[in-house]
Chain A
Amino acid sequence: MEEELSGYRGPARELLLRAGARVGDEVELALSDGGSISGTLMPRYEHADDSHVTLKLGNGYNIGISVSRISEIRISRRRAPQPSPEPAPARAQPGRGEVLVLGTGGTIASRIDYRTGAVTPVFRPEDLYSRVPGLYEIARLDTELLFNVLSENMTPDHWSALAERVGRAAAEGYRGIVVTHGTDTMHYTAAALSFALEGLPVPVILVGAQRSSDRPSSDAYTNLKGAVAAAARGDFSGVYVAMHRSLSDHEIAIHRGVRVRKNHTSRRDAFQSINSGPAAVVDLRTMEVKKLEELPPRSDPGSLRVKPRFDRRAFLLKYFPGMDGSIVDALVDAGYRALILEGTGLGHVGRQLQGSIARAIEEGVFVGMTSQCIWGSVRMTVYETGRDLLRLGVVPLGDMLSEVALVKAMWLLGQGAGPEDMRSLMPSNLRGEISERRRIVA
């Protein structure tokens, strides 16, 4: 069975196969330079080499022993049959929950088996209640694992499936919906749901964790509590992302799905609202959900229109000094229908691209401009380069984030928008993705 020598390859695997040893067995390794060493045979990391055997010693430490040094493997005890990982539900709940938690991948909560080092995700409501202190007191949950993909492997197809499921849940009368999501592309999914769910009657809160849930310091638990609180108690509707507001565990920021960006590789406050502050904040000490700006109120489920289709023929191109037009030509030739440029400063690309851009627009490809500065708005009338691009037909997209612009383009194309629709709808504010004012104090 594959599992029995999990992670072992090459010489290490052969040695273990010959000895008939399986992961979890207690073994004694006789060493060629004398002596022996005993412990439990552990799985091997996928990326570790193939010339060592991993053993857990009686004191809990793992060590690796070189295959070349092992003269014999004696199995002292076979792995005990795995006990059923079904702890008695602490709080079984009757009837349906108030908040639906949809899983898309990653582990919002997990349990560790210290004997094997195995980290097992937990997702059933009763497991979440026992794992996340205080969660039960916030809202009754239903949970559903929709799919299990790393967030970097998410595609527009996943967005569509998720939008449909969220749409049904909103119609089913949940007070709010929480979507657990890997953080890497969570802001893309947030934007996708924002566009796909028109007239959303309840809050839909995406939540993730920057520090893995297998550590006592994980932000998964506090983020989840904040997300559930916002979904159950927030007096607003729409799509949001709930993550730490600072390095402290006191506040969970609720960011608008079309305004948020992952701005750090690892910090727990990596997600920030761009060109605005967070929409709301959850105080984890009082569990109060406080709005920080005017937000659409909860509304009647009848107003909901689910438009889950995305057309992948949109491309996000980051300009760099010296980039030539051949890449733009290639994209047009490959059939792309929308090109979002991430230009420099107020919205510029080098003169050498102008010919290719003109051709793209002539062929009906939508070309929109965002800025790689992240903060601020494009303004293409200030410099000659901008004015030239405007003349070619490049559409300035205001202060819309480039990632949001890409998702919006995919969605509009998915709704069957033609070149003229794209030119008028892309720069229009549909879900709060573009704002007229940028405050002095953001």
Chain B
Amino acid sequence: MSSGQLDYASLGLKVGIELHRQLDVGGKLFCGCSARREEGPGSFRRFLVPSESELGDVDPAALFEAARGLEFEYVYGDESSCLVEADEEPPHDVNRRALEAALTVALMLGSRVVDEVHVMRKIVIDGSNTAGFQRTMLVAVGGTLNVGGREVGVQTITLEEDAARNLGSEGRVKRYGLDRLGIPLIEVSLAPIEVRSSPQEVVEVAAALGRLLKSTGLVARGIGTVRQDLNISIRGSGIVEVKGVQELPLIAKIVEFEARRLSWLLQVAAELSRRGVRPESATGEILDVTDVLSRAGEGIVRRALGKGARALAFAARGYRGLLGSEPHEGVRVGRDLASIANAFGLGGVIHSDELPGYGIDEGLLRELRARVGAGEGDAVVIALGDAEVVRRALEAMAARLRDIVSGPPAETRAPTPDGRTRYMRPRPGSARMYPETDLLPIPIEDSTLERLRRNLPPPWDEQVSSLASRYGLSRKLADELLDSERYGLFLEAVEMGVRPSVAASLVVETLVSLRREGLDVDSLSDEHLRQLFRAIASGRLAKEAAPDVLREIASGRARSVDEAAEALGLSALSDQELLAIVDEVIGRNSRLIAERGERALGPLMGEVMSRVRGRADGAKVNELVRRRLEEALRRRS
């Protein structure tokens, strides 16, 4: 297999979507805090200790995180966090509006609502939850989502707390913002769909589910309010969970990448089996090889050892040539080893498929092979750094190489902005939940369900029609607008007095075309668009200037609409200034007017607009030019 077209159906590609969306129901799920974004000023630091199960086996994902020996720093603001977020106070009763929003979605999907909701603790020890677990509750099971004639099964609908916001890490300290922790999230898990001909099918399913959620009017919109987890598998592979895909278009790319990566790993497994490699004996002992490598030539190895790093290595049986092979861009076993190294805070990993290099010559490589007991067909994996950290990282890498022998392993991966994925951690075991003992079960009364059923939101198409007719928009524009993450801004703009058609096309079309230009549209904040709408509503800026202004901000050349307008020399012309320009153009073109009469309007408009674009409203210019032209023609006759 190479970069050619994939035959998805024969691969047995299956993709299940878990859509997580924040609910906009006023406040958080288990306390009275505001759900608004807030930085600082306070902070505190914590460690987490994972619990063992009674059998003594720790969840593999939990163990992996603990192995990294991390410390967590939590940053909090006063409005968005209280003692509940700090894990210093028991949770309050569940936010009823959030629960009812989840029930509403369940009713819309024809799911079976449970009679009594039990809040559970799901162990998550990457620090993103101060407690070390996420509170989550199953609200409904079953149901069907209709996507253009295709019936996609609903597995579960859950309501849970959003995690703290990742603010990056420094050494072994990971920083998180508590403002996002505890915001209610609805999660809808769909049954896996078999991809027939194109990953676009997955995008359509996700989009349809997104529209259904938005039609409730109860979900938050905007960047960071929605995340899709994709459970991807092909025949013969474990299930790979790709966590936190934010944009729909990225889904198709990721699905394609994973299909290619998994089929490559199937081939690797087949080749290893042909070479007689067994999972349990696929890796050799991890040994300190600092003495061997201290004789390396100039390069990163020598520099690292010079700074006191230790070098450890192990043999990977039968892997020779398989670590470095890259049948498709980004699909390479060595790349995942590097991700593991990064997860442990190491700069990277060196394997024998890329040697000689880094100052390690053939001779040294032979010595290294002999030291770790690597035969002809084996590869050697080397890492440098603090001995203890390197040992743990290499143990994780060896475990992964052993797993691969039996086929593409189940694991959790993260999406990259270019539509690939990178290794995050082993797939969590299924049993990592236990009851939230601080809360009683919540019975769901029939009367509540009846009330919610009577008040279900109108279907999507009906909402599109009424939006179109209320604001005089085309159905297509209204549909895209209602689906937009910035729909709320449209309503604000209309409220400010911007013409609905102008506001709608700005929110939908302008932003899309700027994205197509390759600009980072997500860097445009809602506040930027508010400034723009205010400027248009007050006549300070013509609507024609909007794309230029936004381009200026999205490209990082300006920080605000005012700054952009100034940089572009765009401040709306006064009526007098505009009239002077029109008169000047008409005066200069008397011959044209004489020759063409009324048909001179087009060229005259063109010339005036080229001088005032962005500083005057087109309709107004048109009216002025037409009036002055008529007057000029009258004077002539």
Q: Closest approach, in angstroms, between the C-beta of B441 and any C-beta of chain A?
A: 5
Which partner residue on chain B sits nearest A216 by CB separation?
A: B132
Contact A45 B49 (CB under 8 A): no
Stretch of B87-95, B293-301, B397-405 on the interface side: B87-95
In the complex, given contacts A62-B435, A120-B54, what are 7 additional A-B residue pairs having Cβ atoms less than 8 angstroms apart?
Answer: A37-B141, A48-B440, A61-B136, A62-B118, A112-B51, A115-B53, A248-B45
Q: Closest approach, in angstroms, between the C-beta of A111 and any C-beta of chain B?
A: 5
Q: Closest approach, in angstroms, between the C-beta of A221 and any C-beta of chain B?
A: 5
Bound Cα distance A221, B48 (Å): 10
The answer to whether A330 has its CB under 8 Å from any CB of chain B is: no
Of residues 44 through 103 on chain A, the ones whose CB sits less than 8 Å from some CB of chain B are 45, 47-49, 52, 54, 57-66, 69, 83, 85, 87
Stretch of A207-215, A233-241, A334-342, A377-385 on the interface side: A207-215
Contact A61 B158 (CB under 8 A): yes
Could you tell me the dominant secondary structure of chain B's interface residues? loop
Would A222 and B86 be within 8 Å (CB), given that A57-B138, A63-B118, A216-B123 are in contact? no
Q: Closest approach, in angstroms, between the C-beta of A122 and any C-beta of chain B?
A: 9
Contact A87 B56 (CB under 8 A): yes
Q: Closest approach, in angstroms, between the C-beta of B27 and any C-beta of chain A?
A: 20
Bound Cα distance A54, B440 (Å): 12
Q: Closest approach, in angstroms, between the C-beta of B228 and any C-beta of chain A?
A: 18
Contact B53 A52 (CB under 8 A): no
The answer to whether A370 has its CB under 8 Å from any CB of chain B is: no
Bound Cα distance A266, B91 (Å): 11
The answer to whether B358 has its CB under 8 Å from any CB of chain A is: no
Chain B residues closer than 8 Å to A65, beta-carbon distance: 114-116
Contact A268 B114 (CB under 8 A): no
Contact B131 A63 (CB under 8 A): no
Bound Cα distance A120, B53 (Å): 9
Of residues 92 through 143 on chain B, the ones whose CB sits less than 8 Å from some CB of chain A are 112, 114-118, 120-123, 125, 130-133, 136-138, 141-142
21 A-B pairs (CB sep. < 8 Å): A47-B440, A48-B441, A54-B118, A58-B430, A59-B138, A63-B115, A63-B138, A64-B115, A64-B117, A112-B52, A114-B53, A130-B52, A212-B437, A216-B51, A216-B131, A217-B46, A217-B130, A218-B49, A222-B47, A247-B88, A249-B45
Chain B residues closer than 8 Å to A64, beta-carbon distance: 114-118, 441, 443
Contact B90 A266 (CB under 8 A): yes
Which partner residue on chain B sits nearest A130 by CB separation?
A: B52
Bound Cα distance A63, B140 (Å): 9
Q: Mark B433-454, 1 if CB is under 8 A from A, else 0.
A: 1110100110100000000000
The answer to whether A322 has its CB under 8 Å from any CB of chain B is: no
Would A113 and B54 be within 8 Å (CB), given that A60-B430, A63-B116 are in contact? yes
Chain A residues closer than 8 Å to B52, beta-carbon distance: 111-112, 130-131
Chain B residues closer than 8 Å to A54, beta-carbon distance: 116, 118, 441
Set A85, A87, A215: member contacting B133, Cβ < 8 A: A215
Contact B44 A247 (CB under 8 A): yes
The answer to whether B156 has its CB under 8 Å from any CB of chain A is: yes
Contact B90 A114 (CB under 8 A): no
The answer to whether A10 has its CB under 8 Å from any CB of chain B is: no
Q: Mark A113-141, 1 if CB is under 8 A from B, else 0.
A: 11101111000000000111100000000
Bound Cα distance A87, B437 (Å): 25
The answer to whether A321 has its CB under 8 Å from any CB of chain B is: no
Contact B116 A249 (CB under 8 A): no
Would A61 and B89 be within 8 Å (CB), given that A113-B54, A117-B434 are in contact? no
Set B49, B88, B122, B156: member contacting A268, Cβ < 8 A: B88
Bound Cα distance A115, B430 (Å): 10
Question: 5 closest A-B pairs (Cβ-Cβ)?
Answer: A64-B116, A216-B132, A113-B54, A61-B138, A87-B56
The answer to whether B432 has its CB under 8 Å from any CB of chain A is: yes
Contact B83 A266 (CB under 8 A): yes
Bound Cα distance A436, B339 (Å): 62
The answer to whether A318 has its CB under 8 Å from any CB of chain B is: no
Q: Mark B414-433, 1 if CB is under 8 A from A, else 0.
A: 00000000000000001111
The answer to whether B619 has its CB under 8 Å from any CB of chain A is: no
The answer to whether A429 has its CB under 8 Å from any CB of chain B is: no
Q: Closest approach, in angstroms, between the C-beta of B430 and any C-beta of chain A?
A: 6
Q: Mark A182-223, 1 if CB is under 8 A from B, else 0.
A: 000000000000000000000000000011101111100110
